Structure 1
Amino acid sequence: MLGGVENTSVSPVFVGRAGELTTLTGALGRATAGEPQSLLIGGEAGVGKTRLVEEFLDEACGRGAVVAVGGCVEIGADGLPYAPFSTALRSLRRRLPEEFASAAAGQEGELARLLPELGDAGSQEAYHETGTARLFELTGRLLERLATDRTVVLVLEDLHWADASTRHLLAYLFRTLRRGRLAVIATYRADDIHRRHPLRPFLAELDRLRTVRRIELSRFTRTEVHRQLTGIMAAEPDPALVDEIFSRSDGNAFFVEELVVCHTSGCASGTISASLRDLLLVRVEELSEDAQKVARIVAEGGSTVEYDLLADVARLAEDDLIEALRSAVGANILIAAPDGNGYRFRHSLVREAVSDDLLPGERSRLNRRYAEALEADPSLVRDDERATRLASYWYHAHDFTKALPVVLRASVEARKRHAYAEQLRLLERAMELWDDVPADVRAGLRPIDYAGAYPPCGCDPATTPLRYLDLLAEAAVAARLCGERERALKIVKMALRLLEGENATDHDPVRAAWFWIERSRLVSGLARGDGWAEIATAQELVRGLPPSAVHAQVLATAAGWGMLHAPGLETFAAAERAVEYAQLVQAEEMELNARLTLGALMVDSGDVERGLAEMAGVSERTVQLGLISEAARSRTNLSSSLEGVGRSRQAVEVAREGIELTQCWGLLDHEGWILSNLTESQISLGHWDEALDGAQRLQRIAYSAKPRGSAALRLAQLAEARGELATATELLELARAAYGKHDPQMQYTLPMTRVAVSIAAAEGRLGDVRTLLAECAEAGFPPGSQRYAWPLLLAAVTAEADTRGLPAAAEGRAEALSRIRSIAKSLPAPEAVWIAHSLSVSAELTRAEGHDDPDRWAEAARAFGPLERPYDLARARHRWADALLASGGRREEAAALLCEAHLVAVHLGARPLRESLELLAARARLSLTPGEPASPPDEDGFGLTPREQDVLGLVAAGRTNRQIAEELFISPKTASVHVSNILAKLGVAGRGEAAAMAHRLHLLQEAS
């Protein structure tokens, strides 16, 4: 049907079909292994069968396969006999002339029935009972011979036009091919296979063959259409355009291309190309007059029109209506609805073509008849569709006075069902209609009926007329909730221009403050700023005004911002005022929000039990009131606060409850925030594989910038701890990009810096370690930052201790250690987990200064013991064992510590820690198998000879081979041999790594 339409815009990017392409390439692999493959690819016209085959053939050619393609030809009711086989065999003969001649030798006359170039088929017997079977057998044998030493891919296109002989030959090959490296693939248009189509029984027959696999191509999803448009336009398409084209094309790839042509060529909105419309209308125009009339009526009725409603609008005698419907269904124009209660077009674009062909007056008249029929008898359609359908009918009938109230009512229905994208579209239509509706009609509309986002500003929503600003408020919230944050921000800016611009039509500071708070939320969510400027503007607008819900919201928002950016007395006071104002105006939802912030601030200030109790109370109350979004936020904050005081197991329980809640209600964005907290606590508990799965899921579901950043950060933390430094670096950059530069919150910046410090230390970039810590010290560590600051400080001081004794690290060491000590003194350690971290930092400081004290590490390890922090405990035990061995005694105790730490490192996959433990055990000749006796200590360390120990000392001091030779009175060549032996015995790649290991494992006598 669409064969004559030229594709004028094709995406250079292959979209979707990953599963189908995998099936095809898998079949190619089996064919290459000598197992012939048979596949059918079906799909409606324009769905992308040819593009899929092209991508597969590119892959096949890349693997060295010989490809031959033949297409069936549409001529009348049947195609040319064997046309696709003739074309394909001709291609094979051209590609493989010698091989083809050899395979066809002696049978050229018979095979000439398929390929006339082989000889004179007329010289052979024209009629014979076994002639066809013979020809089929020879064709199969020819293909098998050609595919003996090479992979051959035979593609037959447009099987729906195939003649009977082609179908029979193909069926024969599908049944009988058993040898050769051969794949036979046929395509067909599924939508052309009507009940009496000859391909229908053929397909049914092939379905019974186990050797044949059928691939049915579905239409593209919205995401795939988005990718297709991006490829076609070579730019990111506007979301509204994606929605429009996806809706109108139904995901048909060809129709998407045609609609893009319309868009780029400036066709009026709502139209399709003339060539496509003409093709779509051909079969419609062949129907009877009554059937065409019914088709036009159904085209204006919606995706499906109920029979009773259609009968009311068509005004035909029942027998005439049924006969018209039978004709349209028989022509495959209309189909019965799945529930049997109505009719719809087989393809929505055909419906659109029919609708476009209506005269302007005809369209509005039909829509008026639909609206009048539905108003007279609302039972004609389902209850949940009535408002939307009626709104559409009145709108397209151009009766805006009747349309506006119904459109608004439909938007309310959409909001009740949490269908915010649909609500937004309806509200935008209401905004479009607003000025065309008489003022007296608008005066009868009330905010209480239509505006759920109406900010209570002292006006009575039951008596105050609905305003345009109310629509903007509704639309902004709907856009934000459906993920259209850019659109929401534009709407908010429009509202603020109306309220505060030079041509402001209204002055309402409370309403303006509400919009500024919305703007703050959107700016922050889009990572375009921290939102404080907008909050400050809102505070100024409500300053001195009587208490109101908006005033309480402004205070609560300011307190919430301060909790994340500037916790302290001022933020604490703001939270208390927000609670007080919310109670004054009896806004319990706002009060709970402020109490949640207050509870978190109490925890950060050290009032842990009361703070957690306050947050738990809020969480319980939000569930009682059915405030799902607030309940999700309460679990987000509560799980974070529990993690902040080291109660990771409780944090996991709360987070899982929150995720269950968000999944039940479809709150994906909230789920992302809670999932971020869950993975953080799982990392603390040593559940790294679970954390990895959770972070990867967060990557998939997060559509806000900051949850995406959290996913990358968690993955970076795991990658760094497992020694995957390149991956960790890449993920860290993704996290930085997602968080943005405009909203530097300590909960993001400090953990990112900790990972960066660990990566730099592992790569020997001690200068970068010191720079990163100095930058954080300059920014300061506000109250509540200890949960992020202590791990950062530990990573920095560990880097200093690990490089103790290296000449390159000596310069600046005193300043760096002084800075670390100063920061440590300023950081509070109110909970056991941070006390344990502070003890580790203190022990590392001692180690960095050359005095490795086993008692300090024993204290740190005992502090971590009951805290369910296996990785932190293993690291402390590693250092404790190292200190014990350095002191020259208690080898059995050290061996036990190393075994315990090694088990944890292996379980977690913490490769750097595991390798350090194994190196230490090897140097001390201790077994890492529990219960196995230790060997006597190796005095010369890793089997190094006395001369090699001398050389290692000079390597650690930074000497070159020539300098070593001069100092030890040996030749440079001998020095080089010694260095090579040392590197091999230590199992390291270079001199720097050898020097670092020598100091870390006490292989040298170091000066303090």
Structure 2
Amino acid sequence: MLGLVETKSVSPVFVGRGEELHTLNEALARAGAGEPQALLIGGEAGVGKTRLVEEFATAACRQGAVVALGGCVEIGADGLPFAPFSTALRALRRELPEELAAAAAGQEEELTRLLPEIGDTITAQAAGRHDEEGMARLFELTARVLERVAADRTVVVALEDLHWADASTRHLLAYLFRTLRTGRLVVLATYRADDIHRRHPLRPLLAELDRLRTVRRIELARFNREEVGRQIAGILAAEPDPGQVDDIFERSDGNAFFVEELAVCATEGCRAGLTDSLRDLLLVRVEGMPESAQRVARIVAEGGSTVEYRLLAAVARLAEDDLIEALRAAVNANILLATPAGDGYRFRHSLVREAVGDDLLPGERSRLNRRYAEALEADPTLVPADERVMRLASYWYHAHDPAKALPAVLDASVEARRRNAYSEQLRLLERAMELWDTAPESVRDELRPVDYTEVYPPCGCDPATTPLRYLDLMAEAAVAGRLSGERERALKITKRALHLLEDEGDPLRAAWFWVQRSRLVQALARGDGWKELDTAQELVRGLPPSEVHAEVLANVANWSMLHEPGPEALSAAERAVEYARMVGAREIELNARLTLGGLTVDAGALDAGLAEMNEVRERALEEGVAHVAGRAYVNLPSELEGVGRDAEAVALLEEGIPFTRRFGLLDTEAWVWGNLSKSLYFLGRWDEAADAARNALRVGHSAKPQGAGALCLAHLALGRGDLAEAARQLTAARDYLGTHDTMPQQSVPLARITIGVAAGEGRLVDVRAEIDRALAAGFPPGTARYGWPLLLAAATAEADARSLPVAAQGRAEALARILKAAKKLTTGAPVWLAHERWVRAELARAEGQDTADTWSDVVTAFERLDRPYDLARVRHRLAAALLTASPGDDERDRARELLRLAHAVAEHLGARPLADSVALLAQRARLALTRVPDQRSADPAEALGLTSRERDVLRLVAAGRTNRQIAEELFISPKTASVHVSNILGKLGVSGRGEAAAVAHRLGLFTVDALGPAR
């Protein structure tokens, strides 16, 4: 109504802050070069943080940058979820509508949680799954949208008043600061340093960000006397009296805002009325206004950071002319400011607002909050739609009216859940539980679970017609706590709920809470969660099928698959599928079927289990169940790798990466990268495997997938002979994986790497101790894929150490233990059978009884697999066996060819220990490791008899292409590509694609540029 007016107490001259402004401008320049920048600006209230940001924003705009400002909103004691990000995104949408729409394309449904107008709000409210990755998914999408918008232009996102930020805003800001990698983007946030007491929720975030080298922190100091003098001169538009400067500098202590207040008071003749009280200094000009203006100021102080004009008019209940005159007086006194859009008012400084608010009597505050609530209920259009529910809940709560506050707070909790603001949802639900007993029973009877909760622990009644129960709120709060990371609070809620249920006789509801406790106990590293799951299982035993019953069985089956796979786990999975189908719980059914498929593979029915898992993946994709499809992209390739079908696994994993990234499934994406690293390792693509493992560490939101990435890097380092790096990554993997929740898929590979490092360092005693520990734990059914490599590592260590005197003592017992364990492991897949032969061959070598025939069987078994490194290792062993006795020319020729192939693979992979061992054996036997090409041709490819087309195909094989990709690139059929590959393998004398690539690399057939990026 009044628009913007000139602010006479603010100096038109920007004083000081030269160094700080230089830092900000330097960050802007770096961002313009494509390096995202993150900054924190702290300082006490009134020191000039906002003025610094305004000066920087003005300078940035002059240089062509787009500036989006957002402020944390305080309503009473409540922050609006994601308020500063919503405001900033809204500003970007105004400035760059087409660019933001393109950046958000395909993800509008998720992003409506931050910016409702970007999509169909009604659809968005009903859509989306709430799970542990929900917040991370929203954060990832927000980060990528900002990176895309800032791809071609410099964008500054400035967030003010972080000390008022809600938990979700703090989490999102921390995520942005950690993960921004590209784009011409500056993200800065300001906070009031003097408010950050020891228990302030912002304090842990600041400590976390201090550890990030990419985040720069600027602390604004108070002005010195010279700067105070320049500020006063700017305000007065004249050179001040030195005595006046001394007085104001002493009284303000260099605080810019206090300088302004004192300078204006001095010019207006109110100095005599001032005391040394900060409150008096802040209120002196408020008390000098007409009573109507003071009254309006008090109303604005209680309404929030900004109060819309129409809402203010409804609460003030003044005639419009009187209201305008009161506002004019407050604006002219520089107490209130009109918002830039001119549709509302706020205090010029939050310190004044707080002082005015603190001056209100308790009853006065309650009455004002009631007026705000009543006005908003009467006309919901008085405030922006995305703020309405939260503000109404805050107003009614601070009006101390439980009857009105309870449903309003519950409505706000639903809105917080819709936004994935689970921390705020938890706080609001706890507030609802606080209000529960004081709200009239008639009000509680009108509330329905279906309106306020997504979690329905069954009580044998219809949630649409049955009154909401206190236990329903506890269930919803427990889930909100788990999803927000507030697991301690969630655990306490489940404990209280189970205590209340002791006398209820409601086993299904109790079982549901025990399942939640199991998840929380695992997440908090308090145990493996089995005791809680077993309790839930006992509670539902013998009860009719229900969704809770199916969920309990599905969780039991999944836990068993990871910890104790076998017939009981398979049975639980089958019953979970059956029960889920009977009650129509589709997501539980798909999850249980995926578990069942994996257990079926582990039981030896490979084709049936893999087909079931693939069927689940296809159904989940068709039905849009993203989290199940994401899990399928982890588990199915893992099972394929476990049975030696790594090429198929890689194809699926490369599909899974963009899928998981699209839906922001960060932990799932990390697992996909970890599994991709393992399969690439076995396929002989070690450099790509290392990149994939590092991606698992970078992307992972939780510790376990990061542990898997570290384990892959340890495995690679061991193969390349870098024992120090292997040991370092092994320690990192142990730290990530922890000791509270051991699983064979983690503990056995950890033991295998431990044995490899100890063997490489010649610590045979430690090797035997580690294998004894692993064998004592045993290999449950379905863990052959982990058990065989472990036994192989132990047997190889014994064989390599057989000439050492220390090895003789205890060798027979150690070999007997390994052999006994080997007899118990299954050999149902060709890769397991090959390992079984390899283990037996190493045991024979350890006793000096291996022969060429022993190793020929092993080589034959591995020639059927696409595992070039393993094949190179056993070829080395066969060559050594051939050369041990007095070999004839045929044996020497065969050994030479075996060593040549093994050396080519080892050199290609950088497997230094194997390459050195092969070279040493060849040197001792006086065998050349290079094949002399036909001197008539200078082209090695021609000398090998490769046609022009076969050379093209070999180039693509060396670049890691599949037959299908080769066919697409050369415009031939996949069958023709397969024939060419077979011919090439024959001409090169190799058995697999990895070896063919190694030979091409050794002979220098193609340059790196010619190979191009592997797909």
TM value normalised by structure 1? 0.64
Opposite residue 848 of structure 1, the aligned amino acid is A
CA contact (8 A) 1:46 1:252 kept: no
Residue 191 of structure 1: aligned partner: 50
Q: Choose from 424, 431, 434 the match for 1:432.
A: 434
Residue 530 of structure 2: aligned partner: 532
Greater shift in the superposed pair: 411-420 or 448-457? 411-420
User: Does 2:909 correspond to 1:912?
Assistant: no
Higher relative contact order (CA 8 A, sep 6+): 2
CA contact (8 A) 1:623 1:631 kept: yes
Task: Evaluate the alpha carbon distance shift between residue 567 and residue 375 of structure 1 in structure 2; reply closer, same or farther with a 3 A threshold.
Answer: same
> C-alpha separation between the residues in 1 aligned to 2:318 and 2:673?
59
Residue 46 of structure 1: aligned partner: 43
Residue 454 of structure 1: aligned partner: 456
CA contact (8 A) 1:477 1:488 kept: yes
CA contact (8 A) 1:42 1:217 kept: no
Opposite residue 906 of structure 2, the aligned amino acid is A
Opposite residue 815 of structure 1, the aligned amino acid is E
Task: Evaluate the alpha carbon distance shift between residue 328 and residue 738 of structure 1 in structure 2; reply closer, same or farther with a 3 A threshold.
Answer: farther
Task: Evaluate the alpha carbon distance shift between residue 431 and residue 191 of structure 1 in structure 2; reply closer, same or farther with a 3 A threshold.
Answer: same
Q: Choose from 371, 383, 394 the match for 2:385.
A: 383
Task: Evaluate the alpha carbon distance shift between residue 640 and residue 216 of structure 1 in structure 2; reply closer, same or farther with a 3 A threshold.
Answer: closer
Residue 989 of structure 2: aligned partner: none
User: Does 2:729 correspond to 1:731?
Assistant: yes
Greater shift in the superposed pair: 234-243 or 785-794? 234-243
> C-alpha separation between the residues in 2 aligned to 1:682 and 1:772?
27
User: Does 2:830 correspond to 1:832?
Assistant: yes
> C-alpha separation between the residues in 1 aligned to 2:478 and 2:648?
37
Once the two structures are TM-superposed, the CA of residue 514 in structure 1 deviates from its matched residue by 0.7
Once the two structures are TM-superposed, the CA of residue 232 in structure 1 deviates from its matched residue by 13
> C-alpha separation between the residues in 1 aligned to 2:195 and 2:612?
53
CA contact (8 A) 2:683 2:868 kept: yes
Question: Is the partner of 1:867 in helix, strand or coil?
Answer: coil
Task: Evaluate the alpha carbon distance shift between residue 798 and residue 721 of structure 1 in structure 2; reply closer, same or farther with a 3 A threshold.
Answer: same
Q: Choose from 407, 414, 417 the match for 2:419.
A: 417
Task: Evaluate the alpha carbon distance shift between residue 722 and residue 362 of structure 1 in structure 2; reply closer, same or farther with a 3 A threshold.
Answer: farther
Question: Is the partner of 2:43 in helix, strand or coil?
Answer: coil
Opposite residue 513 of structure 1, the aligned amino acid is A
Once the two structures are TM-superposed, the CA of residue 752 in structure 1 deviates from its matched residue by 0.5
Residue 485 of structure 1: aligned partner: 487
Cα offsets for 1:370-422 (capped at 9, x unmatched):
22222122222333332122111211222221121121122222223333222
> C-alpha separation between the residues in 1 aligned to 2:676 and 2:768?
31
- Count how many residue pairs are aligned between Structure 1 and Structure 2: 734
CA contact (8 A) 2:711 2:730 kept: yes
Task: Evaluate the alpha carbon distance shift between residue 679 and residue 316 of structure 1 in structure 2; reply closer, same or farther with a 3 A threshold.
Answer: farther
Opposite residue 568 of structure 1, the aligned amino acid is G
Greater CA radius of gyration, 1 or 2?
1
Task: Evaluate the alpha carbon distance shift between residue 541 and residue 44 of structure 1 in structure 2; reply closer, same or farther with a 3 A threshold.
Answer: closer
1:7-406 alignment to 2 at 5 Å?
A: 46=43, 191-192=50-51, 222=170, 242=204, 278=279, 281=282, 285=286, 288=289, 296-315=298-317, 342=344, 352=354, 354-406=356-408
> C-alpha separation between the residues in 2 aligned to 1:21 and 1:407?
41
Q: Choose from 495, 498, 519 the match for 2:497.
A: 495
User: Does 2:724 correspond to 1:722?
Assistant: no
> C-alpha separation between the residues in 1 aligned to 2:736 and 2:605?
33
> C-alpha separation between the residues in 2 aligned to 1:332 and 1:829?
83
User: Does 2:790 correspond to 1:788?
Assistant: no
> C-alpha separation between the residues in 1 aligned to 2:599 and 2:60?
69
Opposite residue 798 of structure 2, the aligned amino acid is E
> C-alpha separation between the residues in 2 aligned to 1:673 and 1:311?
56
Residue 808 of structure 1: aligned partner: 806
Greater shift in the superposed pair: 884-893 or 469-478? 884-893
CA contact (8 A) 1:509 1:541 kept: yes
Once the two structures are TM-superposed, the CA of residue 43 in structure 1 deviates from its matched residue by 8.3
Q: Choose from 870, 873, 892 the match for 1:872.
A: 870
Greater shift in the superposed pair: 751-760 or 632-641? 632-641
Once the two structures are TM-superposed, the CA of residue 548 in structure 1 deviates from its matched residue by 1.8
Once the two structures are TM-superposed, the CA of residue 364 in structure 1 deviates from its matched residue by 2.4
> C-alpha separation between the residues in 2 aligned to 1:781 and 1:581?
30
Once the two structures are TM-superposed, the CA of residue 764 in structure 1 deviates from its matched residue by 0.4
Cα offsets for 1:902-959 (capped at 9, x unmatched):
444344343333333344444445555554799xxxxxxxxxxxxxxxxxxxxxxxxx
> C-alpha separation between the residues in 2 aligned to 1:464 and 1:450?
12
Task: Evaluate the alpha carbon distance shift between residue 471 and residue 812 of structure 1 in structure 2; reply closer, same or farther with a 3 A threshold.
Answer: same
Task: Evaluate the alpha carbon distance shift between residue 411 and residue 907 of structure 1 in structure 2; reply closer, same or farther with a 3 A threshold.
Answer: farther
Once the two structures are TM-superposed, the CA of residue 348 in structure 1 deviates from its matched residue by 6.2
Q: Unaligned regions of 5+ residues in structure 2, if any?
A: 1-19, 31-37, 66-155, 163-168, 179-189, 210-215, 223-274, 936-1015
Cα offsets for 1:562-588 (capped at 9, x unmatched):
222222222222222222222222222
> C-alpha separation between the residues in 2 aligned to 1:44 and 1:623?
45
Q: Choose from 741, 759, 762 the match for 1:761.
A: 759
CA contact (8 A) 1:716 1:755 kept: yes
Q: Choose from 508, 513, 516 the match for 1:515.
A: 513
Opposite residue 911 of structure 1, the aligned amino acid is R
Opposite residue 373 of structure 1, the aligned amino acid is A
CA contact (8 A) 2:286 2:335 kept: no
Question: Is the partner of 2:468 in helix, strand or coil?
Answer: coil
Once the two structures are TM-superposed, the CA of residue 799 in structure 1 deviates from its matched residue by 0.8
Q: Choose from 851, 856, 861 the match for 1:863.
A: 861
Q: Choose from 686, 689, 695 the match for 1:688.
A: 686
> C-alpha separation between the residues in 1 aligned to 2:200 and 2:358?
25
TM value normalised by structure 2? 0.64
Task: Evaluate the alpha carbon distance shift between residue 318 and residue 601 of structure 1 in structure 2; reply closer, same or farther with a 3 A threshold.
Answer: same
Residue 555 of structure 1: aligned partner: 553
Cα offsets for 1:628-650 (capped at 9, x unmatched):
33333333322322222222233
Once the two structures are TM-superposed, the CA of residue 734 in structure 1 deviates from its matched residue by 3.5
Q: Choose from 821, 839, 844 the match for 1:846.
A: 844
Once the two structures are TM-superposed, the CA of residue 442 in structure 1 deviates from its matched residue by 0.5
Opposite residue 901 of structure 1, the aligned amino acid is A
Once the two structures are TM-superposed, the CA of residue 349 in structure 1 deviates from its matched residue by 6.7
Opposite residue 744 of structure 1, the aligned amino acid is T
Question: Is the partner of 1:716 in helix, strand or coil?
Answer: helix
Once the two structures are TM-superposed, the CA of residue 452 in structure 1 deviates from its matched residue by 0.6
> C-alpha separation between the residues in 2 aligned to 1:22 and 1:899?
60
Question: Is the partner of 1:758 in helix, strand or coil?
Answer: helix
CA contact (8 A) 2:293 2:327 kept: yes
CA contact (8 A) 1:636 1:673 kept: yes
Once the two structures are TM-superposed, the CA of residue 294 in structure 1 deviates from its matched residue by 5.3
Residue 646 of structure 2: aligned partner: 648
Opposite residue 650 of structure 1, the aligned amino acid is E
Residue 769 of structure 2: aligned partner: 771
> C-alpha separation between the residues in 1 aligned to 2:844 and 2:319?
99
Greater shift in the superposed pair: 287-296 or 730-739? 287-296
CA contact (8 A) 2:40 2:218 kept: no
Task: Evaluate the alpha carbon distance shift between residue 923 and residue 722 of structure 1 in structure 2; reply closer, same or farther with a 3 A threshold.
Answer: same
CA contact (8 A) 1:284 1:292 kept: no
> C-alpha separation between the residues in 1 aligned to 2:277 and 2:925?
81
Question: Is the partner of 2:437 in helix, strand or coil?
Answer: helix
Task: Evaluate the alpha carbon distance shift between residue 720 and residue 611 of structure 1 in structure 2; reply closer, same or farther with a 3 A threshold.
Answer: same
Q: Choose from 425, 442, 445 the match for 2:444.
A: 442
Residue 72 of structure 2: aligned partner: none
> C-alpha separation between the residues in 2 aligned to 1:42 and 1:677?
36
Q: Unaligned regions of 5+ residues in structure 1, if any?
A: 1-16, 28-40, 49-159, 161-187, 209-214, 258-273, 935-1008
Residue 264 of structure 1: aligned partner: none
Residue 542 of structure 2: aligned partner: 544
1:1-12 alignment to 2 at 5 Å?
A: none
Once the two structures are TM-superposed, the CA of residue 495 in structure 1 deviates from its matched residue by 0.9
Once the two structures are TM-superposed, the CA of residue 759 in structure 1 deviates from its matched residue by 0.6
Greater shift in the superposed pair: 708-717 or 280-289? 280-289
Question: Is the partner of 1:686 in helix, strand or coil?
Answer: coil
User: Does 2:658 correspond to 1:660?
Assistant: yes
Once the two structures are TM-superposed, the CA of residue 696 in structure 1 deviates from its matched residue by 3.4
> C-alpha separation between the residues in 2 aligned to 1:332 and 1:881?
91
Task: Evaluate the alpha carbon distance shift between residue 353 and residue 706 of structure 1 in structure 2; reply closer, same or farther with a 3 A threshold.
Answer: farther
Task: Evaluate the alpha carbon distance shift between residue 895 and residue 419 of structure 1 in structure 2; reply closer, same or farther with a 3 A threshold.
Answer: farther
1:990-1001 alignment to 2 at 5 Å?
A: none
Cα offsets for 1:779-817 (capped at 9, x unmatched):
221211111011111111111111122222111122222
Question: Is the partner of 2:834 in helix, strand or coil?
Answer: helix
